[in-house]
Amino acid sequence: MFEEEFKKHISKFSTSPFLFIGSGFSRRYLGLPTWELLLMEICKELGLIKPYNFYKSNADSKLPKVASIIGEDFNELWWSGEKFEESRKEFSAIAETKYSPLKFEVAKKIQTQNQLIKDDIIDKELKLLKKINIDGAITTNWDELLENIFPEFNKFVGQEELIFSELYSIGEIYKIHGCSSKPNSLILTEEDYHNYEDRNAYLAAKLLTIFIENPIIFIGYSLDDKNIQSILKSIIKCLTKEKIDKLKDRLIFCQWSPEPIQTSIIDSTLLISDTVIPIKLIRTNNFIEIFTVLANNKRKLPIKILRQMKGMVYDFVKSNNSKSKIYVTDNLENIENIHNAEFVYGVGLKDKFSEVGIKGIELKDVLLDAIECRNWESDKISELCLPYLNAKYIPYFKHLRSASYLNDNNEIDEDNEIVEFSPEFIKKVNEVKPESFYPSANYIRKTKEINDKYSSFTELKSANNQLHILLYTPLLSCDKINLDELLNYLIDNKKLLDDSKYGTHFRKLICLYDYLKYKE
């Protein structure tokens, strides 16, 4: 099964993936044209006298050169033509070269084509895409689709910004060919490509750590795409043979097929500068399974918090006059210093803080909270705690109900966009039912006998020992369980949570109470 195999492959890495996004991505979701079709359309829309084929033939069919020749012809028309008066008002002050007018019009065209394709599969893919756990994205696209999908990510436009900025490699989008929001940044003409290639080694050095440490998932490119070949060629030049071997399994290419096929992942190779690089090749007709796996890829903290923490530590380590309010300690004698800190970094401090401070909320805390009111903020518990607890029996529903994350059917909507719950978490919560808390099969056989014998939880409790109370209660019909009586029993016996003999059964009973009280 593809999902299991892909999940297993991704879990081999200690870091989350980076996406490398190409033009096929924008065609799929925005319906944007291919590069040549874009030049053909813009040539017609600009009102140039010469047809597109004139420019193509004079450029020997090389698209960057086609753009250069069109740009030269269009420059004078843009500065003098009445049709472009509004454009001149908007852009004339920032015109840098004779090709700037063409870039302005191309950027405007792309900015106006921002409506998502209407299709059920596309819609589902995009909803999943917004939930995926990745460290960042690299793209050669000019549109702003990625920024809209990942609004909390920081954006860096063009080689200039990338080379001269501090990159944290988390929560970032690198637009290496420019962006329509900054028209002059577009890598469009032959001259742009020459300048780009001259500085490609610097860019490759900047991206090197990402390629060595993260799995890279390529979407919207063909295997022989010149942009990808160029970047990988520059990266390989920076690496020894041993380091090149580290790229193995980290490069994952998604190859889209127009035909309905079963999604699969296989071993393949890529030839770069006489170097054969092993890659993983995914063949698919849609991206639902791929994005589902990435959405279920757990992260310990939201990416916004991780980026903030990494930035603070980076600033603290690098600068002699750090602006970050960080407190680094292994001694809390002068604890008042911590109150001015935005981020505390400590060694061996776990047991010195309060119950749910730096230590964090654990499963036992959540179980006790289900039967004791601790006045926690339900939205925070629902978003930052429940999805990250690793256990079979978790009382989900008190806080999900209070935070209004349950719909009219008492479930989390699969398309929930209020908070980024993973599909795996949503499925896990929605599949909980009274039978989820049943004891082993040997005791389940007694269900009819127990319901015939006892008319209420009170009767069952008074007639049985501690173990049988825990085992038989989940078998009772729900209408026979008085929730107030069950709650009193749970509070009176909460010490059983830590009991090696009764602990698991007691957790089930707390979860049953949580289910009956807050879900049903």
- Residue 58 and residue 169 share a domain: no
Q: What residues pair up with 156 in beta bridges, in sequence order?
A: 174
- Residue 145 and residue 93 share a domain: no
pLDDT at res. 50: 93
| Residue 373, pLDDT above cutoff 50 | yes
Distance between CA atoms of residues 232 and 238, nearest Å: 10
Lowest mean pLDDT among 221-230, 237-246, 461-470, 505-514: 237-246
Express each pLDDT in 378-416 by its tens digit: 988 998 889 888 899 999 999 999 999 999 999 998 776
3-state secondary structure 328-351: EECCCCCHHHHHHCCEEEECCCHH
Express each pLDDT in 273-295 by its tens digit: 778 888 999 999 999 999 999 99
Q: How far is CA 443 from the centre of its chain?
A: 43
Q: How many domains does the chain have?
A: 3
Which domain CATH number covers 180? 3.40.50
Region of 381 please: left (phi>0), alpha (psi -120 to 50) or beta. Answer: alpha
Nearest to 313 by CA among 301, 300, 331, 326: 326
Count of CB atoms situated within 10 Å of the CB of 374? 13
In contact, 275 and 248? CB cutoff 8 Å:
no
Distance between CA atoms of residues 358 and 335, nearest Å: 14
CA distances from 16 to 156, 165, 200 (A): 20, 22, 25
Question: Is 345 part of any domain?
Answer: no
- Residue 170 and residue 62 share a domain: no
- Residue 389 and residue 271 share a domain: no
- Residue 280 and residue 390 share a domain: no
Q: Which are the contacts of 106, defined by CB distance < 8 A and separation ≥ 6? A: 38, 42, 142, 180, 183, 186, 188
Question: Is 324 part of any domain?
Answer: no
pLDDT at res. 312: 56
For residues 365-385, give the mean pLDDT.
90
- Residue 247 and residue 101 share a domain: no
In whole angstroms, how large is the CA radius of gyration of the chain?
29
Q: Which are the contacts of 103, defined by CB distance < 8 A and separation ≥ 6? A: 71, 183, 184, 186, 188
Count of CB atoms situated within 10 Å of the CB of 303? 20
Continuous H helices in 246-353 = 288-295, 303-318
Question: Is 504 part of any domain?
Answer: yes
- Residue 197 and residue 68 share a domain: no
Lowest mean pLDDT among 68-72, 242-246, 328-332: 328-332
Q: Which are the contacts of 360, defined by CB distance < 8 A and separation ≥ 6? A: none
Question: Is 331 part of any domain?
Answer: no
347, with CB counted inside 10 A (0-12, 13-18, 19+), is exposed
Express each pLDDT in 8-41 by its tens digit: 999 999 889 999 999 999 999 999 999 999 999 9
Helix (H) or strand (E) holding 271: strand 264-272
- Residue 174 and residue 81 share a domain: no
Distance between CA atoms of residues 408 and 475, nearest Å: 26
Question: Is 342 part of any domain?
Answer: no
In contact, 32 and 113? CB cutoff 8 Å:
yes
- Domain hosting residue 43, numbered range: 35-112
Q: Which of 275, 295, 315 is the last residue of a domain?
A: 295
- Give the long-range contacts of residues 72-76, CB within 8 A, separation 24 or more: 72/98, 72/99, 73/48, 74/46, 74/48, 74/101, 74/102, 74/105, 75/99, 75/101, 75/102
Q: What is the reported pTM?
A: 0.77
Count of CB atoms situated within 10 Å of the CB of 459? 13
Average pLDDT of every residue of the chain: 87
93, with CB counted inside 10 A (0-12, 13-18, 19+), is exposed
In contact, 127 and 163? CB cutoff 8 Å:
no
Distance between CA atoms of residues 475 and 451, nearest Å: 8
The residue length of the chain stands at 520
Q: Which of 112, 130, 145 is the last residue of a domain?
A: 112
- Tell whether the torsion through CA atoms of 311, 313, 319 and 323 is positive or negative: positive
Question: Is 249 part of any domain?
Answer: yes
pLDDT at res. 355: 42
- Residue 380 and residue 231 share a domain: no
Question: Is 317 part of any domain?
Answer: no
Lowest mean pLDDT among 6-20, 46-60, 147-161, 405-419: 405-419
Express each pLDDT in 411-446 by its tens digit: 998 776 656 788 899 999 999 999 999 999 989 999
Nearest to 19 by CA among 178, 206, 219: 219
- Residue 507 and residue 378 share a domain: yes
Ordered strands of the 18-21 beta sheet: 154-157, 172-175, 136-139, 18-21, 216-219, 251-256, 275-284, 264-272
Q: Which of 239, 265, 295 is the last residue of a domain?
A: 295
Question: Is 302 part of any domain?
Answer: no
pLDDT at res. 353: 38
- Residue 227 and residue 252 share a domain: yes
- Residue 131 and residue 58 share a domain: no
